[in-house]
Chains A and B, each alone.
Chain A
Amino acid sequence: MSNNILVVAEQADGKFKSITHQLLGEASRVAQQMGGIVEAVVMGQGVKDSASQLGAFGARKVYVADDAALARFDGSVYAPTLIELVKRIQPKMVFLGATPLGLALAPRLATHLQSALTSDITGFAVSDGSVRVTRPVYAGRAMAVYEPKTFPLIATLRQNAFAPATSGDGAQCDIETLAVTATQPKTKVVETSKSASGKVELNEAPVVVSGGRGLQGPENFHLVEELASALGGAAGATRAVVDAGWRPYAEQVGQTGKTVSPTLYVAAGVSGAMQHLVGMKTSKVIVAINKDPDAPIFKVADYGIVGDALKILPLLTDEIRKLKEQG
């Protein structure tokens, strides 16, 4: 077995997602400590041309599976090609994003390779060749350290928890085209509906602005969206307002919704119930706006404003817009 790390890159329409750069960043750091190199695999249709870009971000070799069968992501269609690759190149670890793609592929890899798996990890430590993985458990109410007893270790990395690789000196990488193990999809998509286009994905967003009951009604959520858009971020919501039907489930941040870890999280009219806090408290900077000075959200906030979100949000949006105009 090598000491190399295989990164499963994610792309959409030929453009690599931010998680791919985060995976490469952490893989480079860890591979260096273990005396291995970083390799990557890109899967999809029409992805061949973009594969060489990954060289500049630390991948020494990129495997490409470019096939019409891979146009739509389906775990059971993607998995066989990936399993074959891992068996052949024997990496020490496989890094995937803790994304729908990664969370669907990682257990399939671990099952067929009978290997160790750790999901949604937030930290790696390497010493004397042994690997320790940190990850939140009990929906973020405790932090656990895991040790793999066997290798390869299949690991999914939490989005925004690791520093992205920055484009280096445009290093070359070897490209190898993979034979795609074609399997028929066992599921058929019969209907899709897109949410409003141009919106930033909640998990990937560098900034998240969430609204809670303090927004008083669905008609006021444009205030949340406007601030999110001024900050180049995404809008989120608490479970209470999703349950009330004010906002779609896709925006729910918290235990049974999405876990986010943006650079800036603004909680507006959010009280800070446990179920919400576990979904956002690893954000880098938290701002809370709430009428109630005793709201639990202030206990995790870096900056707090005691006030009515309906009044504060438009003022804040204006102020941010002014700042952006000044550049």
Chain B
Amino acid sequence: MKILVFIKQVPDTAAPLFVKDNQIDASKIDKYAASPYDEYALEQALQIKDKDASTKITLVTMGPTRVRETIMQGLAMGADDALIIKADDASEMDGLAVAHVLAAAAKKIGYDLIFTGIKGVDDDQGWVGIALGELLGLPSVSGARSTQLQGTTARVTRDVEGGKETLEVALPALITSSQATEPRYPTLKGIMSAKKKQVLEWDVPSLGVDSSIMQPRVQMVKLDMPPARQSGRLLQGEPQAQVKELVRLLREQAKVI
């Protein structure tokens, strides 16, 4: 069983960001990490490997030099090897261009199953995962919360409007992960062994994607901080009086009830 996990490195999602000259101020980013949904995706792949040790997990990412650190983390968690597609300008590519590059790489290395996050917590487009599945002609399932393999069939459980469902899909397939089991921490042994694992480096031109595809179809022209909310008023008095006043304000001032 050969699993590819596509990972994107993003600024730490627990920290605030600052905008300077229509860009995220990189000097104020303390650390980068795998996008949270990609970590959940990796954890789902690792759980498959837990059950079948012959499973081979390859991490694939694209980005500047700093992505290596995130890849090493994933290898320390238990992935077998990795491919870095070097691209300093990856953030200027649109989702379709990224998907074409990743699809070309996937075809070269081969796979039975592909995992990625449902979206990257940076541009939040949610474009690449599904596009990758379409370009490779794979059936895809979005928003997996757990995945089990039975032979060459994947059983995927996910949340849907009004409940949950379990789907079966025949491999090869692509699965995008929602919030799932909390990703494991690397062990000391994992960290040591990661250093010996193979990390290939390719560049974008070697993947031969048509230049018309690489032209972005959509471009970010402006970036701002979100409008700050004014903090409002604290209500005074005994609980009963506070509640009465709140209801009056919601009705008469805010007009929302």
For A99-118 the 0/1 string (1 means CB < 8 A from B) is 11001101110111011111
Q: Do A108 and B134 have beta carbons less than 8 Å apart?
A: yes
- Chain B's nearest CB lies how many Å from the CB of A309? 11
Would A146 and B221 count as touching, CB distance under 8 A? yes
A146 touches B220 (CB 8 A): yes
| B126 proximal to A (CB < 8 A) | yes
Q: Give B222-257 as 1s and 0s: 1 = Cβ < 8 Å from A's Cβ atoms.
A: 111111010111110001101110110111001011
B142 touches A319 (CB 8 A): no
| Residues in A297-327 with C-beta less than 8 Å from chain B | 298-307, 311-312, 315-316, 319-320, 323
Closest approach, in angstroms, between the C-beta of A300 and any C-beta of chain B? 5
B169 touches A186 (CB 8 A): yes
Question: Is there contact, CB below 8 Å, between B233 and A304?
Answer: yes
Q: Which residues of B (82-127) have their CB < 8 Å from a CB of A?
A: 94-96, 99, 119, 121-127
Q: How would you classify the secondary structure of chain B's contact residues: helix, strand, loop or mixed?
A: mixed
Write out the residue numbers on chain A whose beta carbons fall within 8 Å of the beta carbon of B242.
Answer: 305, 307, 312
On chain B, the residues within 8 Å of A141 by CB distance are 16-17, 226
Residues of B within 8 A of A106 (CB): 127
Question: How does the 8 Å CB contact mask read for B43-56 relative to A, with 1 for contact and 0 for none?
Answer: 00000000000000
Which of B119, B219, B250 is in CB contact (< 8 Å) with A146? B219
Contact B217 A186 (CB under 8 A): no
- Please indicate the chain A residues that have their CB under 8 angstroms from the CB of B162 in the complex: 194-195, 197, 199, 201
Interface string of B173-203 (1 = CB under 8 A from A): 1000011001000000000000000000000
Of the candidates B14, B162, B179, B243, the one having the most CB atoms from chain A within 10 angstroms of its own CB is B243
Q: Is A192 an interface residue (CB 8 A)?
A: yes
Q: B232 and A301: CB pair below 8 A?
A: yes
State the total of A-B contacts with C-beta under 8 angstroms: 252
Q: Which of chain B's residues have a CB closer than 8 A to the CB of A115?
A: 217
Q: Cβ of A189 and Cβ of B234 under 8 Å apart?
A: no
Number of interface residues of B (CB under 8 A): 85
Q: Is the CB of B127 within 8 A of A192?
A: no
Are A138 and B122 touching (Cβ within 8 A)?
A: yes
Smallest Cβ-Cβ distance to A73: which chain B residue: B160
Contact A305 B234 (CB under 8 A): yes
Give the contacts of A181-200 with B (CB-CB under 8 A).
186-195, 197, 199
Most buried by A among B179, B215, B223: B179
- A249 in contact (CB, < 8 A): yes
B218–A148 contact, CB under 8 A?
Answer: yes
Q: Are B250 and A189 in contact (CB under 8 A)?
A: no
Interface pair B218/A75, CB less than 8 Å apart: no
Q: Does A271 contact B (CB under 8 A)?
A: no
Tell me which of B119, B140, B167, B213 contacts A76 (CB under 8 A).
Answer: B140
A286 at the interface (CB under 8 A from B): yes
Given A138-B24, A256-B37; 9 other pairs, CB 8 A cutoff? A106-B127, A107-B127, A115-B217, A186-B169, A191-B166, A243-B182, A274-B14, A301-B232, A306-B234
6 residue pairs of the A-B complex, CB under 8 angstroms, read A107-B129, A107-B134, A110-B217, A119-B119, A301-B232, A311-B239
Which A-B residue pairs are the 9 nearest by beta carbons? A186-B139, A302-B232, A145-B222, A107-B130, A191-B166, A116-B217, A116-B218, A194-B163, A256-B179
